[in-house]
Amino acid sequence: MLNKIPGRGYLLIAVLIFAASNSVTRRLTELGANNLIDGRNPISFCNVLFVGNLCALLALIAIYGKEWNSNSLSRLSIMDWIGMLAVAGLSGALAPAMFFFALEQTAVNNVVLIGRIEPPITLALSVLILKARVNQQIVIGAMLAFVGVILTILLQPTESNMMAMGGFNIGQGELMTAVGAIAVAISSIISKIRLNSIPLGIFTIFRTTVGTVIFFSLTAKLYGIGHFMDVFTPIIWQWMLLYGGVIVVGGQLAWFRGLKTTGAADVSLASSISPIAGIVFSFLILGEVPTMAHYIGGSVIILGIIFNQIGAARQNNSVDEKEMDKKVGFKGI
């Protein structure tokens, strides 16, 4: 039966799972807040990210572990390892940490929409650094998406946790989301420059492993090792096994299954659904009603996505698996 599902179907399933991840994460932390242990939330964002990464690592090892052999590893140069280390720090540690911390500070809808700043930044860096050629529709789409993100930020109601930057008030959560998106964009460029020849299994396992270690080390240094004292509490593992099984394992398997039988245009089209699906899930799971800022900014972003799809259809560039792996952005791990 699973073999009858087309590649586009797998991509759609994966995108929907990833789109729901932010809302599910927020719901899990709320569940933890109702089951405190000595006044501490056992299902904190840090614990969810750390345990979620462990689940992802186990899944990736099961799927791609055979690629970690002496023959494949001996082909990697020192610059390849440095490149993977940089990507792991940016997309495996910094970006997910920023997105998770942002979920503590702001609405899921803000994280979903502001996270869309990553594609236009990646495009701009590709043109400036990689000398990539893009058509007019893709440029217009990127500019509209960027404007939509800015509108989403600037039209937010003033809150106590906002900071003044350049005469504008920007919330901490919104700023963290933007930093995370920029980190993903930079890591994408590094990947295109340095990592195209590296097997996907080696790339993803290394990124997840090093990213987890970096996140754990920095968090322990900033907050103390006691910050993770509840990480092995049964309540977090019983929920994280479900979270890891559905979002991490199920989402990744569906995504990679879809990549094998579809092209770049299908991946781009499926990914464009992500922000809309993210907002729908935040309403269904959390009851978050979009604000006027979300409607205005989201409409401009969707218009940008439409222009991007038109441009992508006219410009049939080939995209490898590692590049397509980043089209959805943050995947809930």
Partnered with residue 262 across adjacent β-strands are none
Q: Is residue 226 situated within a structural domain?
A: yes
Inside any domain, residue 332: no
Residue 333 placed within a domain: no
d(CA 160, CA 114): 20
Contact (CB, 8 A) for 6 and 270: no
Query: Rounded CA gap, 92 and 297, in Å?
Result: 28
* Domain presence at residue 331: no
- What pLDDT score was predicted for residue 52? 82
What is the 3-state secondary structure of the chain? CHHHCCHHHHHHHHHHHHHHHHHHHHHHHHHHHCCCECCECCCCHHHHHHHHHHHHHHHHHHHHHHHCCHHHHHCCCHHHHHHHHHHHHHHHHHHHHHHHHHHHHCCHHHHHHHHHHHHHHHHHHHHHHCCCCCCHHHHHHHHHHHHHHHHHHHCCCCCCCEEEECCEEEEHHHHHHHHHHHHHHHHHHHHHHHCCCCCHHHHHHHHHHHHHHHHHHHHHHHHCHHHHCCCCCHHHHHHHHHHHHHHHHHHHHHHHHHHHHCCHHHHHHHHHCHHHHHHHHHHHHHCCCCCHHHHHHHHHHHHHHHHHHHHHHHCCCCCCHHHHCCCCCCCCC
pLDDT at 135: 83
The series of mean pLDDT values per 10 residues for the chain, 333 residues long, is 73 88 89 88 87 83 89 91 93 89 89 88 87 84 89 76 58 90 90 80 89 91 86 84 75 75 68 85 92 92 86 62 52 50
Give the distance, in angstroms, between the CA of residue 93 and the centroid of all CA atoms in the same chain: 11
pLDDT at 169: 60
The pLDDT value given to residue 5: 78
Interatomic CA distance for residues 309 and 169, integer angstroms? 33
pLDDT at 136: 87
Q: Which amino acid is at 283?
A: F
- Structure token pair of residue 285: 């799971």
Query: For every residue of 110-158, which 3-state class applies, written as one string?
Result: HHHHHHHHHHHHHHHHHHHHCCCCCCHHHHHHHHHHHHHHHHHHHCCCC
Q: How many domains does the chain have?
A: 1
- The 10 Å Cβ neighbour count of residue 61 is 16
Give pLDDT, residue 198: 85
In a domain, 292, yes or no: yes
CA distance 210 to 212: 5
Amino acid at site 309 = Q
Residue 272: its pLDDT value, please? 77
Domain of residue 234 covers 2-324
Rounded to 5°, the CA angle 173-108-319 comes to 95
> Is residue 36 in some structural domain?
yes
Distance of alpha carbon 121 from alpha carbon 249, whole angstroms: 29
- With respect to residue 312, please indicate whether it lies within any of the assigned structural domains: yes
CB 205 within 8 A of CB 68: yes
Task: Give Cα 50 distance to the centre of its chain.
Answer: 15
222 part of a folded domain: yes
Asked whether the whole model's pTM tops 0.75, one would answer yes
Confidence at residue 318, expressed as pLDDT on a 0 to 100 scale? 45
